[in-house]
Homo-oligomer: A and B are copies of this chain.
């Protein structure tokens, strides 16, 4: 029996995608081998990887001035690669909205850059997205986390008139809505939210920006290596790319694109936030309303003693992954693309029932 999966990441994947993965595990694409057993240089695999890149660009409405890279090492390796390539010891601005942007900032320090915090919501426990900025004079780039999984906040609009190109970690909202990337030169996203299995990091980069990067870096830390070899300098994580490709097809063909998934995601979030707001304080949202994330709905129960029974009874009712991030506690319902309205309605009904019993 499949459960309703509200995990923050790794997270729910579309059931039809998993059904296809299962069906093809011993024989992919008529090759008589699993996708895991095929050479990454076999023409069928290269074609699959190229189609996956093309589908992603099509979903995002991006042209040939962008390149899709298949990297490894998660956001944590991007936190190092970005300053190593593009700060080159100089100033770069970070917008501080929680755990992950803090880690990115700290890694920039380790990597010899001079990161500057140009905005922060730390004073108010990262419960909102800042609207005032104190940029440094000539930063190499402006970095931010577009959706904060831990605190359940999301940038409603991206920073305007920043003094340098934007770079963003979009892991936990990637492919949940159309994106205007006009002011961006690089975004990265760990696959394990809306894309596929952990172990793949999607990087979208403008090659002309990549060319401004530091020279003499280790090969796998230089974005040009991935661009020049179309992400096949060495063996890429083929299975994860394959699953990502199926998810992109599902978004294109079954869902109908990012405009449609945005509507579905907005409806799910609206329903759950309304249930929280209309609970008379039994459930309390933790993010400021104007900064709420449609992807990660964070809330607390009126009494923390109820956390354990809430999670246990939810599990009995077929819902998992509702615990908040280990660094903050409370509750979090992650409503990624593969979590459908039926799951959200089940949660809302359960919450009402739980409140009736314990409220």
Contact = CB atoms under 8 A, between A and B. Distances in A.
Interface of A: 1-3, 5, 7-13, 15, 18-19, 21-23, 25-27, 31-34, 36-41, 72-77, 79-80, 84, 107, 110-111, 190, 192, 196-200, 216-221, 233-240, 243, 318, 320-321, 326
A289 to B, nearest CB: 28
A235 B198 contact: yes
Contact of A27 (B2, B31, B233, B240): B2
A281 to B, nearest CB: 29
8 contacts: A10-B235, A22-B22, A22-B25, A32-B318, A72-B74, A72-B237, A80-B220, A110-B218
A31 B12 CA distance: 12
Nearest to A325: B41
B26 A15 contact: yes
Nearest to A217: B110
A18 B32 contact: no
Scoring A38, A235, A238, A321 by chain B CB atoms within 10 A of each residue's CB, the highest score goes to: A235
Contacts of A233: 76
What is the interface of chain A mostly: helix, strand, loop, or mixed?
loop
B197 A5 contact: no
B197 A239 contact: yes
Contacts of A238: 10, 197-199
Given A32-B318, A80-B221, A197 B9 contact: no
Contact of A9 (B34, B221, B235): B235
Given A10-B40, A192-B235, 17 more contacts: A3-B31, A9-B39, A9-B235, A10-B36, A10-B39, A10-B238, A13-B34, A73-B73, A79-B219, A107-B218, A110-B218, A111-B218, A197-B237, A198-B235, A198-B237, A199-B236, A199-B240
Given A220-B80, A237-B199, A11 B37 contact: yes
Given A73-B73, A198-B239, A318-B32, A39 B3 contact: no
B199 A39 contact: no
B10 A38 contact: yes
B2 A33 contact: yes
B40 A12 contact: no
Given A26-B19, A40-B10, A110-B219, A199 B239 contact: yes
A44 to B, nearest CB: 11
5 nearest CB pairs, A to B: A199-B237, A3-B32, A80-B218, A22-B25, A72-B72
Given A74-B235, A111-B218, A218-B110, A33 B21 contact: no
Nearest to A8: B39
A13 B216 CA distance: 37
Nearest to A318: B32
Given A39-B8, A74-B235, A321-B39, A25 B21 contact: yes
Most B-side CB within 10 Å, residue of A8, A220, A236: A220
A74 B25 contact: no
Nearest to A242: B197
A39 B11 CA distance: 7
Nearest to A108: B218
B13 A37 contact: yes
A29 to B, nearest CB: 12
A240 to B, nearest CB: 6
